A and B are shown apart, each in its own frame.
Chain A
Amino acid sequence: MKAKKVIAEAEARKIHYELGIRHPSEIEVHLIATSYGAFVRERNLKGVDGLLVRKGKNAIISVRNSIPEEGKKRFVIAHELGHYFLHPQARQTDMLMKDEVDRLSYLQSHEELEANYFAAELLMPCDMFKLALNDCDPSFAEISRLANLFQTTLSATAIQYVKYTQEPCVFIISKNLGKPWFFVREDFDFRVESRDKIHAYSVTADTIKNGCKYDRANDVPAGVWFRGYSDSGKDYITEETFVLGNSGIAYTLLWVHDAI
């Protein structure tokens, strides 16, 4: 069964409308949840980030109190709230395993995807997000600014950024240079090459191998990432990489800055 993205996003927009929310600072996710009968509590959980227990129209959402980032806590609550609204029959109890929210994968069930679509739209509504976009080159600095404004995670914000910016971009997550997960808009003109390993000529590979945390270059051959181009050609794209601590997880942003 395919994830019902439109329905999930519409459900989140309905909440903004019903509560008259018009600014990112008004998106107080725990109060929104309470308003609809889902109480939120922080707990000393060990192996899970979030937990939802439901009975009828009431529910309790627990979030792991040792999650260091406020943005991640908010996303976990919003994700469980997504199950609460979207899957009333299927999920009486749900657990979001530790760091599952960071492990984006093509293998996620449609229910998990729907809960993520809901969470993204609840925390970063399309209309507010588009208004907040600055007219500047795509970068993790800009994505980070938006993540601060909407108090969300960098990865969730990057996906929303790629979705709504006018610039042709790709957001990629990889671990230890293994098979990457990527997000592109439906109207993206290029096809990302499906590889089991990140290409050695990429900025991402270079950054990880050199033990660095960050790098950006605007002369990466398009063939390093895109199908139908040479990896030593002169069609260049911009690649920016950001490595998360010592986890081996790299966030990569590709930007087709010029016609290729």
Chain B
Amino acid sequence: MNNTYQKTRICGVVKGLESTQETPESARENLELLGYDVDAEYVSFRRRFKGLIHKHTWKEAAITKNDKFKQKIAVIDKWSKKSNDEINLAYQMAQDSEYALAARNLENLTRAEKIAILEDKELLDEG
């Protein structure tokens, strides 16, 4: 199915003007005569359709993403085994990087919170 045909058919279906008797070219011509911008209608339809699909699929997609994320978390546990000095040094380095830009409430952190930041930084670096 070529692009012109696809665009014209979708546009026709959306507007209730579909006719199986028409060639794509004449359907397009007729639609344009009626004042429709076939290309713009196609883009608009694609966007609406995508949005509609997303409304019904986002939750399942998020659950799948979450499961993958949990698998990653399970692997990253090296920080909890490190000494306070090592944690403090790594945290200081992270603080000097982009992760602490204009950060709030980062004073007087406990070891648990520093480990949390270092772990998260590592997870995000991995992508």
Q: Tell whether B55 is near chain A: CB-to-CB under 8 Å.
A: yes
Q: Tell whether A245 is near chain B: CB-to-CB under 8 Å.
A: no
Give Cα distance in the complex from A45 to B110, angstroms.
9
Give Cα distance in the complex from A19 to B61, angstroms.
12
Q: Which of B66, B99, B100, B105 contacts A34 (CB 8 A)?
A: B66
Q: Which of B54, B66, B123 contacts A19 (CB 8 A)?
A: B54
Contact: A95 with B124, CB < 8 Å?
Answer: no
Give Cα distance in the complex from A39 to B65, angstroms.
9
- Chain A residues whose C-beta falls within 8 Å of the C-beta of B99 in the assembled complex: 53, 55, 92-93
Segment at the interface with A among B11-19, B21-29, B31-39, B114-122? B114-122
| Residues of chain B in range 72-127 having any CB-CB distance to chain A below 8 Å | 73, 98-106, 108-110, 112-113, 116-117, 120-121, 123-125, 127
Chain A 82-95, CB-CB to B under 8 Å as 1, else 0, gives: 00000001111111
Give Cα distance in the complex from A55 to B99, angstroms.
7
Q: Tell whether A200 is near chain B: CB-to-CB under 8 Å.
A: no
- Chain A residues whose C-beta falls within 8 Å of the C-beta of B73 in the assembled complex: 41
Q: When A20-B55, A34-B62, A35-B61 are in contact, do A91 and B102 touch as well, CB less than 8 Å?
A: yes
Q: Tell whether A218 is near chain B: CB-to-CB under 8 Å.
A: no
What class of interface size applies to chain A in its complex with B? 35 or more
Q: Tell whether A233 is near chain B: CB-to-CB under 8 Å.
A: no
Give Cα distance in the complex from A22 to B89, angstroms.
48
Give Cα distance in the complex from A237 to B59, angstroms.
46
Using CB atoms, name the residue of chain A closest to B117: A53
Q: When A31-B62, A39-B66, A53-B124 are in contact, do A92 and B102 touch as well, CB less than 8 Å?
A: yes
Segment at the interface with B among A57-65, A155-163, A252-260? A57-65
Q: Which of A31, A47, A54, A59 contacts B66 (CB 8 A)?
A: A31
Q: When A19-B54, A92-B100, A93-B100 are in contact, do A60 and B120 touch as well, CB less than 8 Å?
A: yes
Q: Which of B62, B103, B112, B125 contacts A93 (CB 8 A)?
A: B103
Smallest CB separation, B71 vs chain A (Å): 12
Contact: B109 with A47, CB < 8 Å?
Answer: yes
Q: Which of B54, B105, B125 contacts A95 (CB 8 A)?
A: B105
Residues of chain B whose beta carbon lies under 8 Å from any beta carbon of chain A: 51, 54-56, 58-59, 61-63, 65-66, 69, 73, 98-106, 108-110, 112-113, 116-117, 120-121, 123-125, 127
* Chain A to chain B contacts (Cβ below 8 Å), 9 pairs: A28-B59, A31-B58, A39-B69, A47-B109, A51-B116, A53-B116, A60-B120, A62-B116, A93-B104
